[in-house]
C-alpha cells in the first residue's frame, strides 16, 4: 500500500533519501545526502551543531522540500507530493517530536496526547484505554486533566512522545529528544523510543547524545556521503 493511501497502522514503512541536496538562504546545507531507515529500527542522525540534522529530518518528514534528490517512503517516491498527499502522510503515518515539543500549553495533557477536543472526556472506551496505557508508559498516569503548561521540561518531552505512541504512527521523527534532560528522564526517553522501534516502527532521531546514539541500530553522519564521494 502506498504512503498516501488509507491508514493501515500495521503497515511497516521504510524511509529513504537518495542524493538529497538543500540550500537555505543561498548556502548548501545538505549536499548529496543518502540515508535508508528500515522499519523496526532506530537510526541516529549525527553531526556537529549546524551540520543539517534538523534540516534532513524535516526533508525526510516532508516538512521542507528538497532542491535535488528523492525521498522514498514505503514503496513510493514522495518527492513531488502535493500538499494534500503530504497532509495525508502526516495524518496517517507520521509523528513528529520536534525541538519545541509542539505542545499546546493551554490544553490538557489528554488533549495533547489524543489531539481530539470534542471527544474528551467522552473518548470511546478503546481510545480511553489506549490513552491510559500511553500515559502509563510515559510516566504521566493520572495527569490527563492537568494543563500542559504545568508540566516540567522532562514531562513535556515525555508528553510529546506520548502523542507519538498514542497515534501509533509508522514513522516517528524525533529531534534532540534527550537534550536538557537529567539521566533518569533521558533513559526513560531512550527506552520509549527503543520500544517504538521494537514494535516495528521506523524511528529517526537527530541527536548529540552518546547514550541515545548507542541505543540506535544504525547511525548516519551528515556529510558522510559527500566525504565518501
Ligand X SMILES: Nc1ncnc2c1ncn2[C@@H]1O[C@H](COP(=O)(O)OP(=O)(O)OP(=O)(O)O)[C@@H](O)[C@H]1O
- Note the residues at the interface with ligand X (CB under 6 A): 24-25, 29, 47, 49-55, 206
Dihedral sign from CA coordinates of 174, 37, 190, 147: positive
Q: Residue 52 binds which one of ligand X, Mg ion, none, with CB within 5 to 8 A depending on kind?
A: ligand X
Least distance in Å: CB of 53 to Mg ion? 5
How far apart (Å, rounded) are the C-alpha atoms in residues 4 and 2?
5
CB 145 within 8 A of CB 110: yes
Which member of 17, 41, 42, 54 binds Mg ion (CB under 5 A)?
Answer: 54
How far apart (Å, rounded) are the C-alpha atoms in residues 51 and 207?
12
Quote the cell numbers at residue 44.
541516529
Q: Residue 49 binds which one of Mg ion, ligand X, none, with CB within 5 to 8 A depending on kind?
A: ligand X
Least distance in Å: CB of 124 to Mg ion? 38
Least distance in Å: CB of 100 to ligand X? 12
Quote the cell numbers at residue 204.
529517526
CA 24 to chain centre: 22
Q: Residue 23 binds which one of ligand X, Mg ion, none, with CB within 5 to 8 A depending on kind?
A: none
Quote the cell numbers at residue 147.
494543563
Least distance in Å: CB of 176 to ligand X? 6
Number of residues that bind Mg ion (CB under 5 A): 2
- Please say which residue, 52 or 74, places its beta carbon nearer to ligand X: 52
Amino acid at each position: 500500500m502506498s504512503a498516501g493511501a488509507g491508514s493501515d497502522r500495521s503497515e511497516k514503512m521504510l524511509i529513504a533519501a537518495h542524493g538529497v541536496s538543500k540550500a537555505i538562504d543561498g548556502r548548501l546545507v545538505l549536499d548529496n545526502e543518502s540515508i535508508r531507515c528500515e522499519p523496526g529500527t532506530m537510526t541516529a542522525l549525527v553531526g556537529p551543531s549546524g551540520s543539517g540534522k534538523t534540516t534532513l529530518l524535516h526533508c525526510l518528514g516532508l516538512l521542507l522540500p528538497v532542491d535535488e534528490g528523492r525521498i522514498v517512503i514505503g514503496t513510493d517516491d514522495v518527492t513531488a507530493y502535493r500538499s494534500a498527499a503530504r497532509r495525508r502522510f502526516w495524518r496517517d503515518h507520521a509523528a513528529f517530536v520536534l525541538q519545541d515539543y509542539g505542545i499546546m500549553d493551554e490544553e490538557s495533557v489528554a488533549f495533547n496526547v489524543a489531539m481530539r477536543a470534542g471527544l474528551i472526556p467522552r473518548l470511546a472506551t478503546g481510545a480511553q484505554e489506549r490513552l491510559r496505557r500511553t500515559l502509563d508508559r510515559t510516566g504521566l498516569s493520572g495527569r490527563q486533566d492537568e494543563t500542559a503548561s504545568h508540566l516540567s521540561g522532562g514531562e513535556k518531552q515525555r508528553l510529546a512522545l506520548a502523542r507519538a505512541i498514542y497515534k501509533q504512527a509508522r514513522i516517528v521523527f524525533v529531534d534532540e529528544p534527550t537534550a536538557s534532560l537529567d539521566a533518569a528522564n533521558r533513559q526513560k526517553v531512550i527506552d520509549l523510543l527503543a520500544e517504538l522501534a521494537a514494535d516495528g516502527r521506523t524511528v529517526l532521531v537527530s541527536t548529540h547524545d552518546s547514550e541515545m546514539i548507542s541505543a540506535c541500530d544504525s547511525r548516519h553522519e551528515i556529510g558522510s556521503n559527500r566525504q565518501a564521494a
